[in-house]
Chain A
Amino acid sequence: MTEAAQAEAEKIGAIMVVGGGVSGMQAALDLANSGFYVHLVERSGAIGGTMAQLDKTFPTNDCSMCIIAPKLVECGRHPNIKILTLAKILDVEGQEGNFTVRVKEYPRWVDPDKCIACGQCADQCPQAVEDRFNGDLAQRKAIYIKYPQAVPLKYQIDPDACLWLNNPGQCGLCARICPADAVNFADREQKQTIQVGAIIMAPGFQPFDPGTSQAWGFGRYPNVITSLQFERLLAPTGPTGGVVTRPSDGRPVRKIAFLQCVGSRDKNRCNNEYCSSVCCMAAIKEAMIAKEQLDQVEITIFHSDMRTHGKDFERFFIQAKVEYDINFVRTKIHGVEPQGNKGNLRLHYVNQQGKQVDQLVDLVILSVGLETPDSTLGLAERMGIHITPDRFASISAFMPVSSSKKGIFTCGAFNGPRDIPQSVIGGSAAAASASQLLAPARHTRTQASCTPHEVPQKANSPRTGVFICHCGSNIAGVVDVDELAAYAATLPDVIHVEQNPFTCAQDTQDYITQQIREKQLNRIVIAACTPQTHEPLFRRTLRAAGINEHLIEMANIRNQNAWVHKNEPARATIKAKDLIRMAVAKIAIQEPLYPLRIPVIPSALIIGGGVSGMTAALNLAGQGFKVDLVEKSTTLGGNALHLYQTWSGEHVPRYLKELQQQISQEPRVAIHFNTTVVASSGQAGHFKTTLRAGNGRKKSVDHGATIITTGGKRYIPSEFGYGQIPNVVASIEFDKLHMHNEIRVTQGKSFVFIQCVGSRNEKRPYCSKSCCTHSIQSAIKLKQEAPERRIYILYREIRTYGQRERIYNQARELGIIFINYELKGPPIIGEEGGRLLVSSRDHVLHRPLEIEADMVILATATLADPGSAELAKLFKLPLNQDGFFQEAHAKLRPVEFNTDGVFVAGLAHYPKPVEESISQALAAASKATTLLARESVELDAITAHVDPEFCDGCGICLEVCPYQAITLLATIDEQGEEHKIIEIDPALCKGCGICQGACPKRGVYITGFSYEQLLAQIDAALEPPKP
Chain B
Amino acid sequence: MKQDLKIITFCCNWCSYAAADLAGISRLQYPCAIRIIRVMCSGMVHPEMVLHALNQGADGVMVTGCKLGECHYQEGNHAMLSRSEVLEEILADFGYEKERFQLVWLSAAEPERLVEAIYEMHNRLLALETDPGD
The answer to whether A and B belong to the same complex is: yes
A residues near B32, Cβ cutoff 8 Å? 565, 568, 571-572, 574-575
Q: Does A582 contact B (CB under 8 A)?
A: yes
Q: Which of A557-572 contact B (CB under 8 A)?
A: 558-568, 571-572
Check if B46 sits within 8 Å of A1011, measured CB to CB: yes
A654 to chain B, nearest CB (A): 45
A residues near B79, Cβ cutoff 8 Å? 960, 994, 997-998
CB closest residue in chain B, given A942: B40
CB closest residue in chain A, given B23: A564
A residues near B25, Cβ cutoff 8 Å? 148, 559, 563
CB closest residue in chain A, given B35: A1021
Residue in A237, A564, A1018, A1022 whose CB lies within 8 Å of B24? A564
Q: Does B121 contact A (CB under 8 A)?
A: no
Q: How extensive is the interface on chain A, given as a class? A: 35 or more
Q: Pick out which of these stretches binds chain A: B52-60, B90-98, B123-131.
A: B52-60
Query: Do A66 and B52 contact each other (CB < 8 Å), given the known contacts A993-B41, A1021-B8?
Result: no
B79 to chain A, nearest CB (A): 5
Query: Do A65 and B109 contact each other (CB < 8 Å), given the known contacts A559-B24, A994-B44, A1022-B53?
Result: yes
B residues near A1011, Cβ cutoff 8 Å? 46, 49
A372 to chain B, nearest CB (A): 30
Check if A565 sits within 8 Å of B35, measured CB to CB: no
Check if B40 sits within 8 Å of A63, measured CB to CB: no
In the bound complex, how far is the Cα of B27 from the Cα of A551, in angstroms?
30
Query: Do A1018 and B80 contact each other (CB < 8 Å), given the known contacts A564-B23, A564-B29, A1006-B44?
Result: no
A63, A69, A148, A574 — which one has the most chain B CB atoms within 10 A of its CB? A63
Check if A564 sits within 8 Å of B28, measured CB to CB: yes
Q: Does B99 contact A (CB under 8 A)?
A: no
In the bound complex, how far is the Cα of B45 from the Cα of A1006, in angstroms?
11
A62, A556, A994, A1019 — which one has the most chain B CB atoms within 10 A of its CB? A994
How many of chain B's residues have a CB under 8 angstroms from any CB in A? 54
Residue in A566, A575, A997 whose CB lies within 8 Å of B43? A997
Residue in B22, B44, B70, B107 whose CB lies within 8 Å of A992? B44
B residues near A774, Cβ cutoff 8 Å? none
Contact pattern, A 674-689, Cβ under 8 Å of B = 1, otherwise 0: 0000000000000000
In the bound complex, how far is the Cα of B39 from the Cα of A1011, in angstroms?
11
CB closest residue in chain B, given A64: B109
Check if A579 sits within 8 Å of B21, measured CB to CB: no
In the bound complex, how far is the Cα of B36 from the Cα of A740, in angstroms?
72
Check if A1021 sits within 8 Å of B6, measured CB to CB: yes
B26 to chain A, nearest CB (A): 7
Check if B40 sits within 8 Å of A1006, measured CB to CB: yes
A residues near B41, Cβ cutoff 8 Å? 992-994, 997
In the bound complex, how far is the Cα of B18 from the Cα of A530, in angstroms?
9
Q: Which of B85-134 contact A (CB under 8 A)?
A: 107-112
In the bound complex, how far is the Cα of B37 from the Cα of A184, in angstroms?
40
Query: Do A1022 and B108 contact each other (CB < 8 Å), given the known contacts A991-B40, A993-B39, A994-B43?
Result: no
Q: Does A1009 contact B (CB under 8 A)?
A: yes
Residue in B27, B30, B108 whose CB lies within 8 Å of A63? B108
In the bound complex, how far is the Cα of B38 from the Cα of A1006, in angstroms?
13
Residue in B34, B40, B56, B110 whose CB lies within 8 Å of A1018? B56
Check if A1019 sits within 8 Å of B56, measured CB to CB: yes
Q: Does A790 contact B (CB under 8 A)?
A: no
Q: Does A578 contact B (CB under 8 A)?
A: yes
A530 to chain B, nearest CB (A): 5
In the bound complex, how far is the Cα of B38 from the Cα of A1019, in angstroms?
15
Check if A62 sits within 8 Å of B17, measured CB to CB: no
Query: Do A1018 and B109 contact each other (CB < 8 Å), given the known contacts A960-B79, A994-B44?
Result: no
In the bound complex, how far is the Cα of B6 from the Cα of A571, in angstroms?
12
A residues near B20, Cβ cutoff 8 Å? 559-560
Check if A1018 sits within 8 Å of B21, measured CB to CB: no
Query: Do A994 and B22 contact each other (CB < 8 Å), given the known contacts A236-B109, A1018-B37?
Result: no
Query: Do A237 and B109 contact each other (CB < 8 Å), given the known contacts A992-B43, A994-B44, A1009-B44?
Result: yes
A residues near B34, Cβ cutoff 8 Å? 560
Q: Does A1014 contact B (CB under 8 A)?
A: yes
Q: Does A968 contact B (CB under 8 A)?
A: no
A residues near B108, Cβ cutoff 8 Å? 63, 65-66, 69
Check if A962 sits within 8 Å of B76, measured CB to CB: yes
A988 to chain B, nearest CB (A): 12
A559, A993, A998, A1018 — which one has the most chain B CB atoms within 10 A of its CB? A1018
In the bound complex, how far is the Cα of B30 from the Cα of A898, in angstroms?
37
Check if B29 sits within 8 Å of A999, measured CB to CB: no
In the bound complex, how far is the Cα of B32 from the Cα of A567, in angstroms?
10
Q: Does A996 contact B (CB under 8 A)?
A: yes
B residues near A1019, Cβ cutoff 8 Å? 56
Q: Which of A286-335 contact B (CB under 8 A)?
A: none
CB closest residue in chain B, given A148: B25
A238 to chain B, nearest CB (A): 11
A residues near B26, Cβ cutoff 8 Å? 148, 237
Residue in B23, B35, B44 whose CB lies within 8 Å of A993? B44
Residue in A560, A572, A990 whose CB lies within 8 Å of B21? A560
Check if A1018 sits within 8 Å of B49, measured CB to CB: yes
Check if B109 sits within 8 Å of A66, measured CB to CB: yes
Check if A560 sits within 8 Å of B36, measured CB to CB: yes
In the bound complex, how far is the Cα of B18 from the Cα of A559, in angstroms?
10
B residues near A565, Cβ cutoff 8 Å? 29-30, 32
Q: Does A215 contact B (CB under 8 A)?
A: no
In the bound complex, how far is the Cα of B23 from the Cα of A568, in angstroms?
16
In the bound complex, how far is the Cα of B20 from the Cα of A567, in angstroms?
18
B125 to chain A, nearest CB (A): 14
CB closest residue in chain B, given A558: B24
Check if A993 sits within 8 Å of B40, measured CB to CB: yes
Check if A997 sits within 8 Å of B35, measured CB to CB: no
Q: Does A503 contact B (CB under 8 A)?
A: no
A62 to chain B, nearest CB (A): 7
In the bound complex, how far is the Cα of B73 from the Cα of A44, in angstroms?
35
CB closest residue in chain B, given A531: B38
In the bound complex, how far is the Cα of B25 from the Cα of A1019, in angstroms?
28
B residues near A942, Cβ cutoff 8 Å? 40
Q: Does B15 contact A (CB under 8 A)?
A: yes
Residue in A572, A582, A962, A1024 whose CB lies within 8 Å of B73? A962
B33 to chain A, nearest CB (A): 9
A220 to chain B, nearest CB (A): 33
A968 to chain B, nearest CB (A): 19
Residue in A63, A575, A990, A996 whose CB lies within 8 Å of B46? A996
Query: Do A148 and B35 contact each other (CB < 8 Å), given the known contacts A66-B108, A993-B40?
Result: no
A685 to chain B, nearest CB (A): 22
Check if B24 sits within 8 Å of A992, measured CB to CB: no
Q: Does A1015 contact B (CB under 8 A)?
A: yes
Check if B36 sits within 8 Å of A563, measured CB to CB: no
Q: Which of A512-541 contact B (CB under 8 A)?
A: 530-533
B17, B25, B107 — which one has the most chain A CB atoms within 10 A of its CB? B25
B52 to chain A, nearest CB (A): 6
B residues near A62, Cβ cutoff 8 Å? 70
A residues near B49, Cβ cutoff 8 Å? 1011, 1014-1015, 1018
In the bound complex, how far is the Cα of B44 from the Cα of A530, in angstroms?
21
Check if B44 sits within 8 Å of A997, measured CB to CB: yes
B residues near A126, Cβ cutoff 8 Å? none
Q: Does A787 contact B (CB under 8 A)?
A: no
Residue in A556, A564, A998 whose CB lies within 8 Å of B30? A564
Query: Do A992 and B35 contact each other (CB < 8 Å), given the known contacts A563-B27, A1021-B8?
Result: no
Check if A999 sits within 8 Å of B112, measured CB to CB: no
Query: Do A579 and B4 contact each other (CB < 8 Å), given the known contacts A560-B24, A994-B43?
Result: no
Seed contacts A564-B27, A991-B40, A1014-B49; 4 additional CB < 8 Å A-B pairs: A236-B109, A561-B24, A992-B72, A1018-B56
A-B contact pairs, 10 of them (CB 8 A): A530-B21, A561-B24, A563-B23, A992-B40, A1009-B44, A1014-B39, A1015-B52, A1018-B52, A1022-B53, A1022-B58
5 tightest CB-CB pairs across the interface, nearest first?
A993-B44, A559-B24, A563-B24, A992-B73, A994-B43
